[in-house]
Structure formats: C-alpha cells, structure tokens
Structure 1
Amino acid sequence: MDLSSDFITRTKALLGEEWDAFVQALNSQSPTSIRINNHKTEKPLLDRVLWSQSGYYLPQRPSFTFDPLFHAGCYYVQEASSMFIEQAFRQYIAEDDVRILDLCAAPGGKSTLIADIMGEGSLLISNEVIRTRANILAENITKWGNPNTVVTNNDPQHIGKLEGFFDFILVDAPCSGEGMFRKDEGATSEWSIDNVKLCKERQQRILADIWPALKTDGLLLYSTCTYNVDENEDNVQWICEELGAEVLPIEVKEEWEVSPSLRDGFPAYRFFPHKTKGEGFFCALLRKTSDEGSLKRRKDKEKISKSIIPFDCKDYV
C-alpha cells in the first residue's frame, strides 16, 4: 500500500512500536462481516463479532447482490469495528423509550443496529443530507422492518432548531477516512494534512449545528473512521470545552483488544486493524451538561465555517 510520507510520519508517532504490525495489517485482506436481523433469521454458525450480539464474520466475501436474503433485509453488511456503538446503546439507553437521531445515517448500518436495540416506544430519526444517499437509506430502513424509524433529508443546522428534542444523537462524522485505506485504495491518494484540517473544521460545524437539538443530560456518541487525534480526541475535547459536555465510559472486555484514548483525561475507544478484526474506528460518548454551549454557539457563529460541504458518512458497505 502506497502511504504518503506525511501520513507515515504522523501515524508512526501515534503507534510507536506497533507501526510495523499496523502496516502489515493494512496490506492484508480486509475481513467481511455482517449483522443479522434477529426478527427475520436465526443465528448462523459463524465466528462472532465479540462486541456485537448479532455480528458475524464471513469466511469470504460473496456476491451479496445475488442473495435474496440480503435484499429481504435478513442481514446487513457492516464493518465489524463500527458495530461497537452497540455497546454504548446497550449500556445507557437500550431499555428506555427515547428519541434518537442518527445524523449521518446513510446507507443505514448504524441505524438498523440502533433500531434493533431501542425500546418499543422509542423513535429513531435517520437523517442523510445528500438526497441520493437518503434514498438508499430509506430503502435499507424499509427492508430492515422497524416501524419506529423515520428517514429525513436535512442539513444539521435545520435539525438543530428542534431545541432539546433528542435524548440520544449519533454523529458518525465525515472524516479523512484513514481507517478506510485497506478497503478503499482511493482514500490513500485523497489523504492530505490539509484535508484532515478541513474535515476537523467540518466536524465542528456539524456538531455545533446539531448540539441545540440534544436535551440537557442527553447523550451524543461521536465517531469517525480515522486514526489522527485532530479529528478524534481533539474534537472530543472541543465539544467539552466549547459546547458543554462530559465524557462517559463505555465498558469493554480485555479480549476485544480495543485501544484506549491517545489523550489523557477522558475515555475514548479506538480500533486498529493489527489488534482487532476490523477496520479503523474511533468513538467517544458524551453527556450534555448545559445549554451554555448552544448559547455561545448562536452568539459566535462567524467563528465556524457555515458553508454546506457535501459529506459522506460511511458504514463500510
């Protein structure tokens, strides 16, 4: 794999002695994983994704488009690392009747996962800003079969006007895609330090726009599919300081080999392909402590770019 010198320098500094194992993993075959629809099919005799109750690895990648069970919504093809968000939902809100927003939901992997876990009286809004992807999202949500899910096609700024409406918001943010290098070789050629900076600014714009829609004491799960601290830990710290939040722990088991935060002071969860059977992934769970950040945001809009840049939140299909 042809990695840029800037990426090597930055990421090698983060991984230290693990760098060689990381590069070796990037040059190996990416695993194929699915998550079954428990309402439509039985558990298969396959290796399980350890952090997901319905996630499984396939021995090889088949032609899913020729499988009628795939089109019937009996399973969803989802990258294993991203299934870790299940733990946050199960540990904090699984049995509650709540209002949930999946902000960057297309093509639907995380939304269908949430739909399986949330209480029968809950409501899930699955949003996608790009119209063509919103149509794909709606198709996948329909196939999955949970009636308590609504698909929308709105910019985060517009949804943010629903002040205090949501109990839980998932922001699987558009990012520089470093965790996609093994699955998408084009992502390596598109990577640059400038793009990392652009993504960080865009992520902050999205977070600030949607923050008013989260009620006080509500939870926000922030995730990316990239490795650098700029878009990950630095943004988590920015949320805490600028918007008003505290970071909450998610229980993990040692055998999962989930890596901890690369910044001291708060918990966060990282997946590296040389340690876990999956692609690169990062997430942190935050609780909104006050509305002061929302007020500050409205008074200081000019500090964050308001240009609407099309973004693409992927579930590694």
Structure 2
Amino acid sequence: MALPTALLESLHHVPGYDENGFIRVHESNLNITSVRFNKYKPIAGEQEYLPLKRQVPWNEAGYYLAERPSFTLDPLFHAGAYYVQEAGSMFVAQALQQSGMLDKPLTVLDLCAAPGGKTTLIQNMISEQSVLVANEVIKTRVPVLIENLTKWGADNTIVINNDPSEIGKLQGIFDIIVVDAPCSGSGLFRRDKNAIKEWSPEAVTLCSKRQQRILSDIWPALKPGGLMIYSTCSYSREENENIAKFLEETNHAEILELNNIDKTWGIVESPVGNGTGYRFYPDKVDSEGFFLCCVRKSDTDGHIQYLSEAADKTDKKTEALAKDWLNANTDYQVYQNKEQVFAMPLPTFKLFNVLKKHLNIRKAGFKVGDIAHNKLVPDHALALSEKYTANIDGIELNKKQALQYLSKLNFDFEEDIKDGWYIVKYRHLSLGFVKKIGNRFNNYYPKDWRIRQSID
C-alpha cells in the first residue's frame, strides 16, 4: 500500500507519530473486527456464540473477534443483539462516562449519526429518562440509520434530517452534542483502499473549513455548561487539534482532559490548549485511525431557549387499539400521524413536540403499526421494541428457519398452533411478526431489509 507522501510529511511533528511503525502496519493487511453488545438484548452464552478474542479496553461492551464471521447470516445481528463497530469509535464511551453527566436525564444530539454506530453506543449509556436525537444531513443515508436504530430497539430516540445551521437556531436545547465530523478519511486507509485515492492536502483544507462551519452552526444549540464530544477518522492536525483550538478561541470553550486513561491502552495524548486530545494509531492500538477531544461550553455562553408546543391529541379509539399491543407496565405516549401509530417514552414525546414544528423529523420513538379497516396492523419496529411489546405469543425458530424468515421465504413449523399474530424469535430475541392463516404463515419482515445472499 503506497501511502501519500504529503500525508507522511505532514505528520512528522504530530504527537505519537512513528513513521516506520505507521507504514509497516498499513502494509500488513491485518484486518481487525470488533463488535459491541446491546445491553438491552443479552445473548445467552455470548462467549460461545461469537468468536470473542478479548474485550476492547476502553468499552466494557466491546469485544475483538478472533475471526470475522458472516454477520449477514447471523439472525442475532438482525435482531439488534450487537453492532459491528470499529474499536476506536467505542472510545466515545469513555468521554461519556467521565463527563459526570450520565446520572441525570439528558438531551443528547448525535449530529452526524448515520449509519448509527455511535448513536447506538450513546443510547445504551444514557438513562431511560434521557432523549437522544440522531441527525443525518444526507437524506439518502437516513434509511440505514433508522433501520439500525429500529433493530437496536432504541425507543428514546428521534431521527432528524437537517443542516446544522437549522438545528443551531434552537438555542441551548442539548446537554451533550456528539460530532463525528466529515473528514478526509486518512484513518481509514488500512480498511478502505479507495480512501487513499481520494485523499489530498486540498481535501484536508476543505474538510477543516467544513468542520469549522459545522461547529459554528451547531454551537448555539449546546446548553451553557454543556459538553461537546468532537471526533474524526483523520490523522491531520488541521482537522483535529486545530479544530479544538478553533472552538477554544472563537467560543471561549474549555478543552477537557479525561482522567483514568490507562497508559497500556496505547492511546496517544496530544496537548491542546489547557486540555488534551486523544489519538489512535494502528501501530500502537488495535484500532483504525481516530481522534477525539471533549470541549465544555462556558456557563455564561449563550442561553437556553425554552420552547413549548401543544401536543397533538391522539384519537381515543386509536389509543385503545394501540394498547392492545403494548405492555401496560411501561410508561409511554401514543402518537398518531394519519394512519400510522407511534409510541415513545414521555420525555421523548415532550421533546418531539418541541422539535416537530422546527425540524424535519423522520422517526420518533417506534412505530406500533398502521390503522387499516378499524384494526391495527403491527409494525416490525414493535416486535423489536421488546420492552413495550404486550404479551404476544412467540415462536422460537432454529437457525435455518430464522434465516428463511429473514430472507422473506416460507418456512416449515411443525407445531399445531391457532391462527393469529406471532413474534418469531431466535435464541429468545425477537426477529419480527408473522401471521398464521390456515396452513400458512404470512411473513411480515420488511422487504427492503431481507437477506439477499444465499442462505444454503
């Protein structure tokens, strides 16, 4: 692999850079795979189920795998039991844990959210009384974000599709903003050879200017005293330390230092102002290239804009239909949009009513189903939101049957059961709905999500 000479020269004075080790690891063709488990969907016997090698040191839910299996052909991947995520990105967990903010209800924004790796990580860490808003500015990337959040069963989330400047008009609304900024992508060279062709010093300069614009636009939406977590998959100082300094100088922000970073992890600490940035080099850490820093907004910078919107009332008949499908022991609010019925925790509903008049909302909470002929047809998202699902009978499938279901194929089930709706499961985790009518099952797995490769 021929690395760009201009990149290598630009890194000579960057903290932690070792040119020989950097080149050697990029020539090694070593592939590292890591996953992060969903705490709300535990797998019985996870140590035996996946080829776990060892834990990711900075994230207790993350594990390196001894080999890369076919995730497409694993039903539990589709059930949202785990997310395949690069280990360096899991370091966001350390920033959240050490913020001292997780013990209270929060409003959190993941600004550049698709495909959903950091969003699902954040959702597992915040309290159930907190609300997570996931934004993706590129419209074509929103569906995969929604798909991954649906599989994760992330009920306290709202997905929006807005430019940062539009969100920034809602001043002081978020306690934490996570910005995994668009960048030149040099940290992905080992994993993505095409990224090398697209890299150039001009791209670094362009990305740096874009990052400054994004942060300037979104900064007003952060509460006074709030936390911003900034990250990239770039090695370039112009996109990392210089951006943190930009925030410090233009917004009187405080660059923080994280405590309890174990030296044996191999993460390089890079001084930035009075704080620290954190660099991941693949010759020092089992990770691709990554940078992260934490920035605190001054308590006196900006103000909180209290917005209130009247909630649209849901038809009582619709609420009654929905409650037949929802767990009566959970607190939720039903919301109707034409013939579609949604449910969400009460704090999420309150924020939803603030945001819906100002931003382009693509998903809020989870979809319960559609009203048709005065009945509710359950949605796939309801099956995967296990906490909220009422006592609906389940059918446990073996792996062959599960893959047939996920491929939207017919599958045989020998037990004699009555007609009606069922949730099919694999290893006790929900995969989706089927409806038994006579001697057949109608498969309600989403057509666009089906497995397309051979399952034989």
Q: TM-score higher than 0.5 here?
A: yes
Output the aligned Cα RMSD: 1.7
Alignment of 1:110 onto 2:118: yes
Residue among 68, 71, 80 paired with 1:73: 80
The residue aligned with 2:97 is: 90
Moved more, 79-88 or 44-53: 44-53
Which whole-Å CA distance do the structure 2 matches of 1:130 and 1:151 have between them?
Answer: 12
Q: Secondary structure at the match of 1:158?
A: helix
Which whole-Å CA distance do the structure 2 matches of 1:114 and 1:88 have between them?
Answer: 11
- Structure number with higher relative contact order (C-alpha < 8 Å, ≥ 6 residues apart): 1
Q: Give ranges in structure 2 of 5+ residues lacking alignment.
A: 304-456
1:30/1:278 contact within 8 Å kept: no
The residue aligned with 1:52 is: 59
Percent of matched pairs sharing the same residue: 49
Distance 1:157 1:16, change over 3 A: closer
1:270/1:283 contact within 8 Å kept: yes
Residue among 266, 280, 288 paired with 1:271: 280
TM-superposition CA deviations, 1:248-281 (whole Å, max 9, x none): 1112111211101155642111111011111111
The residue aligned with 1:285 is: 294
The residue aligned with 1:40 is: 41
Alignment of 1:8 onto 2:8: yes
| 1:291, distance to aligned residue in structure 2 (A) | 6.3
Q: Give ranges in structure 1 of 5+ residues lacking alignment.
A: 295-317
| 1:95, distance to aligned residue in structure 2 (A) | 1.7
Alignment of 1:258 onto 2:267: yes
The residue aligned with 2:208 is: 200
Q: Secondary structure at the match of 2:137?
A: coil
Alignment of 1:186 onto 2:188: no
Task: Spell out the pairing of 1:127-166 with structure 2 (5 A cutoff).
Answer: 127-166=135-174
Q: Secondary structure at the match of 2:217?
A: helix
Which whole-Å CA distance do the structure 1 matches of 2:294 and 2:202 have between them?
Answer: 27
Which whole-Å CA distance do the structure 1 matches of 2:8 and 2:192 have between them?
Answer: 17
Which whole-Å CA distance do the structure 2 matches of 1:26 and 1:15 have between them?
Answer: 19
With normalisation by structure 1, the TM-score equals: 0.89
1:242/1:293 contact within 8 Å kept: no
1:103/1:171 contact within 8 Å kept: yes
Moved more, 128-137 or 260-269: 260-269
Distance 1:262 1:247, change over 3 A: closer
Q: Secondary structure at the match of 2:64?
A: strand
Which whole-Å CA distance do the structure 1 matches of 2:60 and 2:83 have between them?
Answer: 14
Query: Going by fraction, where is strand more abundant, 1 or 2?
Result: 2
The residue aligned with 1:234 is: 242
**Aligned structure 1 segments of 4 or more residues deviating by more than 6 angstroms:** none
Counterpart amino acid of 2:119?
A: S
The residue aligned with 2:71 is: 64
2:224/2:302 contact within 8 Å kept: no
1:244/1:293 contact within 8 Å kept: no
Which whole-Å CA distance do the structure 1 matches of 2:16 and 2:112 have between them?
Answer: 33
1:243/1:293 contact within 8 Å kept: no
Which whole-Å CA distance do the structure 2 matches of 1:167 and 1:19 have between them?
Answer: 39
Distance 1:264 1:159, change over 3 A: closer
The residue aligned with 1:297 is: none
